[in-house]
Amino acid sequence: MLAIEQGAQGVVVITGRLDAAQCPAAQSFLDRVQGTVTLDCGGLDYISSAGLGVLLKTQKRLLASGGKLRLAGVNRHLQDIFQYSGFDQIFEIEPAR
Protein backbone atom coordinates (compact mmCIF):
# COMPACT_ATOMS: atom_id res chain seq x y z
CA MET A 1 0.00 0.00 0.00
CA LEU A 2 0.99 3.62 -0.38
CA ALA A 3 0.51 6.73 1.73
CA ILE A 4 1.37 10.24 0.62
CA GLU A 5 0.77 13.31 2.74
CA GLN A 6 1.91 16.83 3.45
CA GLY A 7 4.59 17.02 6.13
CA ALA A 8 6.24 20.00 7.79
CA GLN A 9 8.08 22.81 5.97
CA GLY A 10 6.97 21.99 2.46
CA VAL A 11 8.02 18.37 2.67
CA VAL A 12 5.77 15.72 1.18
CA VAL A 13 6.12 12.33 2.84
CA ILE A 14 5.61 9.18 0.78
CA THR A 15 5.64 5.72 2.34
CA GLY A 16 4.99 2.21 1.12
CA ARG A 17 5.10 0.95 -2.44
CA LEU A 18 4.62 3.08 -5.54
CA ASP A 19 3.49 0.44 -8.03
CA ALA A 20 1.23 0.79 -11.05
CA ALA A 21 -1.92 0.28 -8.98
CA GLN A 22 -0.99 3.11 -6.58
CA CYS A 23 0.10 5.66 -9.18
CA PRO A 24 -3.28 7.37 -9.72
CA ALA A 25 -3.44 8.33 -6.02
CA ALA A 26 0.16 9.57 -5.97
CA GLN A 27 -0.29 11.53 -9.19
CA SER A 28 -3.49 13.09 -7.91
CA PHE A 29 -1.68 14.33 -4.80
CA LEU A 30 1.45 15.55 -6.59
CA ASP A 31 -0.61 17.37 -9.23
CA ARG A 32 -1.58 19.80 -6.46
CA VAL A 33 1.89 20.70 -5.14
CA GLN A 34 3.58 23.94 -6.19
CA GLY A 35 7.04 25.52 -6.00
CA THR A 36 10.07 23.68 -4.72
CA VAL A 37 9.01 20.49 -2.99
CA THR A 38 11.04 17.90 -1.12
CA LEU A 39 9.65 14.38 -1.38
CA ASP A 40 10.73 12.42 1.69
CA CYS A 41 11.32 8.92 0.34
CA GLY A 42 12.68 7.51 3.60
CA GLY A 43 9.66 5.24 3.91
CA LEU A 44 9.33 4.43 0.22
CA ASP A 45 10.23 0.77 -0.11
CA TYR A 46 9.62 0.24 -3.80
CA ILE A 47 9.00 2.04 -7.06
CA SER A 48 8.17 0.70 -10.52
CA SER A 49 8.44 2.38 -13.91
CA ALA A 50 4.88 3.63 -13.51
CA GLY A 51 5.98 5.40 -10.33
CA LEU A 52 8.95 6.89 -12.15
CA GLY A 53 6.49 8.31 -14.64
CA VAL A 54 4.62 10.05 -11.81
CA LEU A 55 7.84 11.67 -10.56
CA LEU A 56 8.90 12.71 -14.06
CA LYS A 57 5.54 14.29 -14.88
CA THR A 58 5.62 16.21 -11.61
CA GLN A 59 9.19 17.40 -12.14
CA LYS A 60 8.42 18.65 -15.65
CA ARG A 61 5.41 20.60 -14.40
CA LEU A 62 7.24 22.16 -11.44
CA LEU A 63 10.33 23.10 -13.47
CA ALA A 64 8.12 24.83 -16.02
CA SER A 65 6.89 27.17 -13.30
CA GLY A 66 10.27 27.78 -11.67
CA GLY A 67 10.01 25.13 -8.95
CA LYS A 68 11.38 21.63 -8.66
CA LEU A 69 10.93 18.28 -6.95
CA ARG A 70 13.76 17.09 -4.69
CA LEU A 71 14.03 13.45 -3.61
CA ALA A 72 15.32 12.86 -0.07
CA GLY A 73 15.99 9.79 2.08
CA VAL A 74 16.44 7.55 -0.97
CA ASN A 75 17.38 3.95 -0.14
CA ARG A 76 20.02 1.91 -1.98
CA HIS A 77 17.59 0.06 -4.26
CA LEU A 78 15.83 3.28 -5.26
CA GLN A 79 19.20 4.93 -5.89
CA ASP A 80 20.03 2.16 -8.36
CA ILE A 81 16.66 2.58 -10.07
CA PHE A 82 17.10 6.36 -10.32
CA GLN A 83 20.65 5.99 -11.65
CA TYR A 84 19.75 3.42 -14.31
CA SER A 85 16.83 5.66 -15.34
CA GLY A 86 18.98 8.77 -15.68
CA PHE A 87 16.88 10.39 -12.97
CA ASP A 88 20.07 11.31 -11.11
CA GLN A 89 20.58 13.84 -13.94
CA ILE A 90 17.16 15.46 -13.65
CA PHE A 91 16.46 15.28 -9.92
CA GLU A 92 18.37 16.48 -6.90
CA ILE A 93 18.69 13.24 -4.89
CA GLU A 94 19.68 12.96 -1.25
CA PRO A 95 20.48 9.38 -0.18
CA ALA A 96 19.17 7.88 3.04
CA ARG A 97 21.54 8.29 5.97
Partner 1 sequence: MSEERAFGRSFDSLEEIFEFTSGYFARAGVDPRLLPSVDFAVEELFTNMVKYGAVADPGTKVRIGIEPVKGGVQVTLTDSGVEPFDVTRAPDADVNLPIEQRRPGGLGIHLIRRLVDSWDYEYSRERRESRIRFRKTLAGTPAAGTASTMGGA
**Which residue ranges make up the site for partner 1 (CB under 8 A)?**
1, 17, 19-21, 45-46, 48-50, 52-54, 56-57, 59-60, 63, 77, 80-81, 84-86, 89-90
Q: How far is the CB of 9 from partner 1 (least distance, A)?
A: 25
Identify the CA nearest to 4 among candidates 35, 19, 25, 33.
25
Nearer to partner 1, 6 or 36 (CB): 36
Q: How far is the CB of 32 from partner 1 (least distance, A)?
A: 18
Q: How far is the CB of 26 from partner 1 (least distance, A)?
A: 13
CA–CA dist 76, 60 (Å, integer): 25
